[in-house]
Amino acid sequence: MDKVLLSHGGGGTMMERLIEEVFAKTFDNEYLNAMEDAALLFGNITLTTDSFTVKPIFFPGGDIGRLAVCGTVNDASMRGAKPLFLTCAFIIEEGYPIEELRRIVKSMAEAAEEAGVKIVAGDTKVVEKGGVDGIFINTSGIGVVYENADVSIKNARPGDVVLISGTIGDHGMAIMSAREELQFDPPILSDVSPLNKLIEKLMTLGKAVKVLRDPTRGGVAEVLYEISKMSGVGIKIYEDKLPVKASVKSACDLMGFDFLHLANEGKLIAVVDRKYADEALEIMKSDKYGKDAAIIGEVNDSKLVTIDTFYGTSRIIDRPIGELLPRIC
């Protein structure tokens, strides 16, 4: 590894290697080494940060502004926390249209209002033409862990049940179709949305909710591998239980993609104590962002990530190496 490649930012094994060998090894502290979506500070404060370089900036179902707010709200929530405040930083290319900047900022304000968070600090940098592609945004978020919550990627245990809050691969395929100018009927829209209010309802189950993770870059497959590795368990999912829109599945079949590798920006995977699985599913379905939720699998002690197929066979799920498409978020 002597140069950074686009695939190093894709959320798969190459990105994991870059983080472990360059960043984690050098910064080396107990908060970072936990490798959670958000660092847990002082016992109940979550802190997270993310940068957004999506192309195109405006895409079916959203834009970079909504993405920047929802992405960080969701990451701040994934330790079982209520997100409260965000910061935002803009890097803008000289000559970028002010009217488009206004649209993006307005979209951020609307997403923040929907999530119930406040954007309380920011920074703006303008670079020469060609220094960036239009506009890049960084957002950071801080939250407070709900009482009685104990959510960590290390908490999955054999016998637990795996749920997903909705259909898989919508964001990745929406970006892909926009960039490649592909037309689908009905159109494929990004699922970008804030999940914090769904999580607030879910956390009424307390410690029965063991793991929360949003399957963004690398998709569902990457998150299952991360849970398997960090918890030291195996995970089996069922192909006939996976919620996938027909249009997304058709597009994947057409282009040879696995929807399990596509990015999502408005979905979460939850690992829940089996005794509370049906209740967790009911709670998810009661929220507008969880109406297509499903129980998709279970945790075992095999230390493998596998899928039981439609044909009655079982296979190991391929782990993504890098994102199928760069600049997906």
Q: Which amino acid, residue 4?
A: V
Residue 17 CA, distance from chain mean position: 19
Contact indicator for 106, 18 with CB cutoff of 8 Å: no
Measure the CA–CA gap between 50 and 140, rounded to whole angstroms. 6
196's tokens = 């914090």
Record: fold of 6-145? 60s Ribosomal Protein L30; Chain: A; (3.30.1330)
Model confidence pLDDT, tens digit, residues 91-126: 999 999 999 999 999 999 999 999 999 999 999 999
Q: Report helix, strand or coil for 294.
A: strand
Residue 144 φ/ψ region, left for φ over 0, alpha for ψ in the -120 to 50 degree band, beta for the rest: beta
Domain boundaries, the chain: 6-145, 160-316
Residue 323 φ/ψ region, left for φ over 0, alpha for ψ in the -120 to 50 degree band, beta for the rest: beta
13's tokens = 């094994």
Q: Give the model's pLDDT for residue 88.
A: 98
- The C-alpha angle 33, 34, 38, rounded to 5 degrees, equals 115
Q: Report helix, strand or coil for 171.
A: helix
Model confidence pLDDT, tens digit, residues 54-97: 999 999 999 999 999 999 999 999 999 999 999 999 999 999 99
Q: Give the model's pLDDT for residue 182.
A: 84
Contact indicator for 94, 127 with CB cutoff of 8 Å: yes
Which one is the CATH code of 160-316: 3.90.650.10, 3.40.50.1580, 2.40.128.120, 3.90.1150.10?
3.90.650.10
Measure the CA–CA gap between 171 and 150, rounded to whole angstroms. 29
Using CA atoms of 226, 227, 229, 233 in order, give the dihedral in degrees to the nearest 10.
-160
Q: Give the model's pLDDT for residue 46.
A: 97
**Below-70 pLDDT ranges, the chain:** 322-324
Q: Give the model's pLDDT for residue 230.
A: 96
58's tokens = 């405006």
Measure the CA–CA gap between 288 and 294, rounded to whole angstroms. 14
Q: Give the model's pLDDT for residue 297.
A: 98
Q: Which long-range contacts (CB under 8 A, 24 or more apart) does 15-19 make?
A: 15/217, 15/218, 15/322
Total Cβ atoms within 10 A of residue 318:
13
Q: Give the model's pLDDT for residue 184.
A: 85
Does 6-145 match 160-316 in CATH topology? no
Measure the CA–CA gap between 11 and 172, rounded to whole angstroms. 13
